[in-house]
Amino acid sequence: MTAQIISGTEIAKQIRQELEQEIAELKAKHNLVPGLATVLVGEDPASQVYVRQKEKTSLALGIYSERHDLPAGTSEEELLALISRLNKDPKIHGILVQLPLPRHINETKVLYAIDPKKDVDGFHPVNVGKLMIGEPDYLPCTPHGIQQLLIRSGVKIEGAEVVVVGRSNIVGKPIANILLQKKAGANATVTVCHTRTRDMAFHTRRADILIVAAGRPKAITADMVKEGVVVIDVGVNRIGQTESGKAILCGDVDFEAVKEKARAITPVPGGVGPMTIIMLILNTVKAARIAAGLA
């Protein structure tokens, strides 16, 4: 068996086309232009790449975009003052503060300062709480992207045994909560594994759907999965570089070995990554609708 490749690049294109039409209609019928502000503190190379991609996608879709690049020495007070200003700005419907932040800034305090109605990352405790009770305004971008990858690839989630490897607040916990909801595109039985799980392979071999966000290259090997599993690999690990200096990336799954047993699998790159960005735009459009009383 050689797995079907679940292309996040292609599925993100589908959603992008849907958003293009929706954004055009909002402008034409309601004179409403969704607005997104991104905030980057410092010069982390990966963060700079992500912010550029988000800004590029926003502008291409006709969204109003503001980018705030702050020096690494920016104080917590200065960052909170910027967030306060963006909270009050009617042109801005979504605020994204790129993580990680410099060590002298309290990330939790900063995330809590964002107006929940503009929290298009879905990290504010108000939005986390709404997700827990099944009434979210916004789903966190990466977990929502994972759900859409499964749905749009025709993977049956209802009744499936889903195993999530990783318990982060950004991926592991929210995707577990999303897929166990009593809703369409969910209704799964979910197990969450982590660094203190005994005999992780026992759990991963039971999975109909395996979602891996472990943060370790090739942590999941072929002997840890069953035939016919669907694998979503969230990891992006730099394991070297080419002679020209281009980064060599791999996921948290041993792709070449596992694809011979899996029914479907996401690649790295080109899997979950493109979905995260387009889900951010989707949340920004929804935030604009909510602000205008259209949702």
Flag the least confident range among 28-42, 213-227, 246-260: 246-260
Domain boundaries, the chain: 30-117, 141-273
Token reading at 155: 């993977």
Angstrom distance (rounded) from CA 79 to CA 136: 27
Tell me what pLDDT residue 51 has: 85
> What does residue 191 show for φ and ψ, rounded to 5 degrees?
-115, 135
Q: Is the pLDDT of residue 172 over 70?
A: yes
Reported as a pLDDT band with limits 50, 70 and 90, residue 19 is: very high
Bond into 269 cis (ω within 30): yes
- Mean pLDDT (whole number) for 8-34: 97
Token reading at 283: 């949340």
What are the tens digits of pLDDT across the range 176-203? 999 999 999 999 999 999 999 999 999 9
* Summary mean pLDDT of the chain: 95
DSSP, collapsed to helix, strand or coil, labels residue 183 as coil
What are the tens digits of pLDDT across the range 196-222? 999 999 999 999 999 999 999 999 999
Q: Could you give the count of Cα atoms lying within 13 Å of 182 in the half-sphere of its Cβ?
A: 1
Tell me what pLDDT residue 251 has: 93
- Which ranges in the chain belong to alpha helices (H)? 8-30, 45-60, 76-88, 107-113, 125-132, 141-152, 172-180, 200-204, 255-258, 272-291
Angstrom distance (rounded) from CA 76 to CA 157: 42
Looking at the chain, the whole-number percentage of residues with pLDDT higher than 90 is 87
For the sheet with 94-97, list strands across it.
64-70, 35-41, 94-97
Q: Which of 117, 118, 119, 121 is catalytic?
A: 121
Flag the least confident range among 25-29, 223-227, 239-243: 239-243
Tell me what pLDDT residue 101 has: 94
Token reading at 274: 């493109």
Q: Is the pLDDT of residue 7 over 70?
A: yes
Reported as a pLDDT band with limits 50, 70 and 90, residue 249 is: confident
Bond into 100 cis (ω within 30): yes
Reported as a pLDDT band with limits 50, 70 and 90, residue 1 is: low
- Mean pLDDT (whole number) for 68-80: 96
Tell me what pLDDT residue 240 has: 79
Tell me what pLDDT residue 247 has: 77
Angstrom distance (rounded) from CA 278 to CA 178: 18
Domain pair 30-117 / 141-273, same fold: yes
Residues whose CB is less than 8 angstroms from the CB of residue 202 and which lie 6 or more positions away in sequence, other chains included:
none
What are the tens digits of pLDDT across the range 33-63? 999 999 999 987 778 888 888 889 998 999 9
Tell me what pLDDT residue 155 has: 98
Tell me what pLDDT residue 179 has: 98
CATH of 30-117, one of 3.40.50.720, 3.40.50.10860, 3.30.420.40, 3.40.50.10300: 3.40.50.10860
For residue 223, indicate whether it is catalytic.
no
CATH of 141-273, one of 3.40.50.2000, 3.40.50.720, 3.10.20.90, 3.40.390.30: 3.40.50.720
For residue 54, indicate whether it is catalytic.
yes
For residue 98, indicate whether it is catalytic.
yes
Q: Is the pLDDT of residue 131 over 90?
A: yes
